A = this chain, B = another copy of it.
Amino acid sequence: MKPFHPTPKTLMGPGPSDVPARILEAMARPTVGHLDPQFITLMDEIKTLLRFAFQTENALTFPVSAPGSAGMETCFVNLIEPGDTVVVCVNGVFGGRMVENVTRAGATAVVISDDWGKPVDPQKVEDTLKAHPEAKILAFVHAETSTGVLSDAKVLCTLAREHDCLTIVDAVTSLGGVPVKVDEWGVDAIYSGTQKCLSVPPGLSPISFGPRAIAAIEARVTPVQSWFLDLSLVMNYWEGPRSNSDSGSAKKSGRSYHHTAPINAMYALHEGLLMLHEEGLEAAFARHQTQHEALREGLEALGFSFLVEPDYRLPQLNTVCIPERVTDEAAIRKNLLEKHDLEIGAGLGALAGKVWRIGLMGASACPANVEQCLGALKQELG
């Protein structure tokens, strides 16, 4: 066995996306201690930058020390107690994963199903919330990574508030690519990933919890089933004694050890968030939209149709139906990867073999990638 020197690939799947050299370089800086004041300052800056990205003032905003699936689980296990009822909207793979989280936490999941490729239907949500006044939480996926569909988080959060439900929102693929307005929409708990529109290597899951969610945690009568993800403990590490206000450096001395944070991964996240801050959210969203339009035009010229209607299509994740003349879609993806050093995504679950998912996430949303992708597809499709 030898050191691993991967052949670089252009990453246009559903994540990870291309990681800029600047972020990789940040990740390789010397490891310092996780209780070193330098690192505590970095943690504070990451929290501030994540609040910017999530458009929130929530004090409890930080990255969970594990990938997005663990961020999802953090939201569910901290807010659910056994016997609770949770309304879960399922319109793709990740809504289904939410149901798994609900039942494993000892709660009842009331499932609202929408077709894969369609957004969550607010009318169904309203009807279900009316029919289930005992529901404590409404959970849905903002941007379904398995289909490329954007659901209307603002409308869904408003419905949840009207029915006195907390919201858990999956923003894994939306954060940094399309608007995610935690405070304006009244989101209670939200999680994301680093390897999508933030263009940071995978491994961390940014989360944000609002005051109503924190109140629910404080009112718990049963312990959180996961020690590693128990926010009442993790909070002490990230911000000192529990509080929804952040008085900054005064709290540093109060922080207590919980686990050892993935230090170098935090360096990378910090750098990626700095780059997003430098570009500005609106500019980043516009860039994703512009590159999406260039890609869409090219794909349609090649004969592709989109699975998702324009009104709720994610610019950063383009799900296209594989043309009938393609008899071996896996072989084409293999050729793209091996001959063109270009990764695109396969269909997941019910869409396996039927669609491709072409990502334009974070740094991958650039003209060079659009051109490379269109050129390679043209060549391979003949």
A interface with B by C-beta (< 8 Å):
1-9, 11, 13, 15-16, 18-19, 22, 24-34, 36-39, 42, 45, 48-49, 65-70, 72-73, 97, 100-101, 103-105, 193, 195, 201-203, 223-228, 257-265, 267-268, 270-271, 274, 277, 337, 343, 348
Contacts and interface: CB of A to CB of B under 8 A. Distances in A.
A64 B29 CA distance: 24
A228 B36 contact: no
Contact of A263 (B3, B201, B262, B343): B201
Nearest to A28: B28
Contacts of A271: 3-4
Contacts of A9: 30, 32-33, 36
Contact of A29 (B6, B34, B270): B6
B65 A67 contact: yes
Contacts of A11: 31-33
A260 B227 contact: no
Given A65-B66, A265-B265, A203 B203 contact: yes
5 contacts: A1-B274, A25-B28, A27-B27, A103-B223, A262-B262
B348 A257 contact: yes
Max chain B Cβ within 10 angstroms of own Cβ: one of A33, A45, A348: A33
Given A33-B16, A42-B4, A67 B262 contact: yes
A348 B258 CA distance: 11
A202 B263 contact: yes
Q: What secondary structure prevails in chain A residues at the interface with B?
A: loop
Nearest to A44: B1
Contacts of A201: 31, 262-265
Contact of A33 (B13, B29, B33, B267): B13
Contacts of A22: 3
B226 A226 contact: yes
Contacts of A262: 67, 201-203, 262, 265
A202 to B, nearest CB: 4
A227 B270 contact: no
B6 A39 contact: yes
A42 B3 CA distance: 10
A277 B1 CA distance: 10
A227 B259 contact: no
Given A3-B271, A11-B31, A261 B202 contact: yes
B227 A69 contact: yes
Nearest to A98: B227
Contacts of A42: 4, 6
A11 B30 CA distance: 10
Nearest to A24: B28
B104 A226 contact: yes
Contacts of A3: 22, 26, 270-271, 274
